[in-house]
Amino acid sequence: MVILELIWFQNLITGVYIALCLSLLLAFIRLLKGPTLPDRVVALDLIAYIVICFIATYTIATGKEAFLDAAIVLALIAFLGTTAFARYVQQVGHTKKPDESL
């Protein structure tokens, strides 16, 4: 496609990648630190959204449309995972030491 050959558009894609990497780093730090279990679940949810953004940006950057299916599947998996974790949190309760309860 014509749009992919523009130099400034490639630079912009790189900038978008950098912003998404920074978001992924922040969400991952929250996943590691998160004092309670629901904090970690929210961080995991956000990581799934960020990876969907990554896949969409990569699809734009390469022009290969097959990657978009992975984004759909990832959205589905993220929703199912969050729902399952919510059930788990509701039954077990949050804990400050996840190693003992998991």
9-32 per-residue burial string, b: 16 or more CB within 10 A, e: under 16 = eeeebeebeeeeeebbeebeebbe
The span from the CA of 100 to the CA of 37, in Å, is 12
Site string for other proteins, 6-45 (x = CB under 8 A): x--x--xx-xx--xx-xxxxxx-xx-----x-xx-xxx-x
**If we measure between CA atoms, which residue out of 33, 26, 71, 25 comes closest to residue 52?**
71
Judged by CB under 8 A, the residue of 7, 32, 62, 75 near other proteins is 75
What is the token pair recorded at 13? 């894609």
- What residues line the site for other proteins (CB under 8 A)? 1, 3, 6, 9, 12-13, 15-16, 19-20, 22-27, 29-30, 36, 38-39, 41-43, 45-46, 49-50, 52-53, 56-57, 59-60, 65, 68-69, 71-72, 75-76, 78-79, 82-83, 85-87, 89-90, 92-95, 100-101
